[in-house]
Amino acid sequence: MKQGVQGTAGAGTPPRAAAAPGVRVPQQARGEDHRVGEGGPGSAAARGEHTHSETPIPPPRPVVQRSSVRGQVLDALRTALLAGELRPGEVYSAPALGERFGVSATPVREAMQQLAQEGAVEVIPNRGFRVVQRDARELGELAEVRALIEVPVLMRLARTVPADTWADLRPAAEASIRAAASGCAASYAEADRAFHGALLGLSGNEQLVKIAEDLHRRTQVPRPGGQFPRTRTDLMADAAHHAALLDALIAGDLDSVHLLIAEHFRAGG
């Protein structure tokens, strides 16, 4: 899915790094008010000087902090990855991507470092970041690790959590179905993580939820043979597992729960 795809990079785009379409991130707002006499850094009050006719200083205006910009850029980059706009094997520089998103290179570089920690890209010194492509073996290993962590927990929860508590998760399952129907891989990935997080959250183990989310993100990369992004049909089939799994959990059908979880992970869900 493309959101607000920009045109080609300007003349200032470094020729050694490819520029990819992406979502334009709102430009960083100024975090300081430099007007003298109005409470800004240039005023006497800001310098700690006494003033005889002080007026109330208005509350600071909302500004976009760097962390917020970084988060927006990170979301935009993840969307571009899932939509196939950032291609496996290609190297992208922070300045070129910053120009695309309408921000400086700094928040792009910070967001890319986060993606590197998640294994979605790798750092290429003095050049930028290369999008990785996991082979079938790596994806299979990730699916196995996820199953080793999530299956025992869900089976334990299936024996102890009451049906009405499982029923409370119906909106999360339905949200994943709607996201799949939209055909947007990025929207579905978020809804999918939310559903799995809601299931595992019933364990009360926050570290488990975080680890499972990290593993889930590591699977959201281009697939071998160019089978990425996933098609709407793929997404709908994956989301159908969520509804069926929730039905089995509500019914207390442990055999079906185990089979559905195993099938879900085999399919890359």
Look at the pTM and tell me if it is higher than 0.85: no
Omega of the bond leading into 229 within 30 degrees of 0 (cis):
yes
- Give residue-wise pLDDT tens across range 68-110: 888 999 999 988 888 878 888 899 999 999 998 899 999 999 9
The closest of 86, 90, 79, 94 to 130, measured between CA atoms, is 90
- Beta-bridge mates of residue 130: 91, 122
- What was the pLDDT predicted at 227? 52
**Which value, in Å, is the radius of gyration of the alpha carbons in the chain?**
23
pLDDT at 16: 46
pLDDT at 77: 92
Q: Can you spell out the DSSP letters for 176-200?
A: HHHHHHHT-HHHHHHHHHHHHHHHH
Answer yes or no: are the C-beta atoms of 158 and 151 closer than 8 Å.
no
Could you tell me if 186 and 83 are in contact, meaning their C-beta atoms sit under 8 angstroms apart? yes
Residue whose pair of structure tokens reads 């991130």 in the numeric block: 25
Are 105 and 94 in contact, with CB atoms under 8 Å apart?
Answer: yes
What domains appear along the chain, each with residue ranges and CATH number? 16-132 (1.10.10.10), 136-266 (1.20.120.530)
Name residues of the chain where pLDDT drops below 70. 1-67, 221-229, 268-269
> Can you give the pLDDT at residue 168?
96
Contact (Cβ atoms closer than 8 angstroms) between residue 56 and residue 38: no
